[in-house]
Amino acid sequence: MSAGGSAGEPIRLLLADDQALVRGALAALLSLEPDLTVVAEVGRGDEVLAAADRTRPDVALLDVEMPGLDGIAVTAALRAELPECRVLVVTTFGRPGYLRRAMEAGAGGFVVKDTPARQLADAVRRVHAGLRVVDPTLAAETLASGTSPLTDRETEVLRAARSGGTAADLARGLHLSEGTVRNHLSAAIGKTGARTRAEAVRIAEEHGWLLGDPDD
């Protein structure tokens, strides 16, 4: 287990974000803090575990939407494989559904990328100390929005619908009958209070209910 952050040693950080410019900016800002040091940077979710095993960070800062594996799945994997590594989700997508799922997966904190550098560094320290850090506005929205009303199958169909296509196209891709797809779309439209399939997709995305690859 790493001893980072104790006896004057800096807190060791792993950064995971698929946008190189964002990742580099975070690394540069956090490295300015005397008690923080970046020991690993990766651009894919499925690269996090190997990098963490190799560098033994104290805190992993994870984006949510990454290729290979999303940040929430990575959070759960890290907490299972390297429980001494705490997780702070830092994302552009401040969606209530993402926050709820990240905390359920074991994240110690959830903040958005436009958080001022000093506040972000403080969030890292607090998460490292075992405290919970959550963007207050997003926390309030999460409590107000509740959990997703969609079933797993309705979620799957709406994910597929993000890329467009007819009900027949979706049915072929999901290996379902066209009638079943239409039924699930109709149910999802009703549950989201939408008028159209596209609006249902938009509402579900805004609430963070469609995290995942549309081809899953």
Report pTM.
0.67
Residue 211 predicted with pLDDT over 90:
no
Residue 157 predicted with pLDDT over 80:
yes
Mean per-residue pLDDT, 64-80:
94
pLDDT of residue 61: 98
R_g of the chain, CA atoms, integer Å: 19
The CB-side HSE value for 127 (13 A sphere, CA atoms) comes to 32
pLDDT confidence band for 216 (50 / 70 / 90): very low
List the Cα angle 72/98/190 in 5-degree steps. 125
Collapsing DSSP to helix, strand or coil, 66 comes out as coil
pLDDT of residue 7: 54
Mean per-residue pLDDT, 185-203:
86
CA 82 to CA 169: how far, in whole Å?
Answer: 41
Domains 11-144 and 152-206 share a fold: no
Residue 89 predicted with pLDDT over 70:
yes
Dihedral class, residue 111 (left if φ above 0, else alpha if ψ from -120 to 50, else beta):
beta
How many angstroms separate the Cα of 88 from the Cα of each of 9, 79, 111, 214? 20, 12, 8, 25
Other Cβ atoms within 10 Å of 23 Cβ, number: 19
pLDDT of residue 213: 46
* Most confident stretch, 9-18, 142-151, 207-216: 9-18
* Domain assignments of the chain as residue spans, ordered by start: 11-144, 152-206
Superfamily of domain 11-144: Response regulator (3.40.50.2300)
Any idea which fold 152-206 has?
Answer: Arc Repressor Mutant, subunit A (1.10.10)
Mean per-residue pLDDT, 24-39:
95
* Most confident stretch, 22-31, 106-115, 156-165: 22-31
CA 169 to CA 67: how far, in whole Å?
Answer: 24
The closest alpha carbon to 59, from 138, 150, 120, belongs to 120
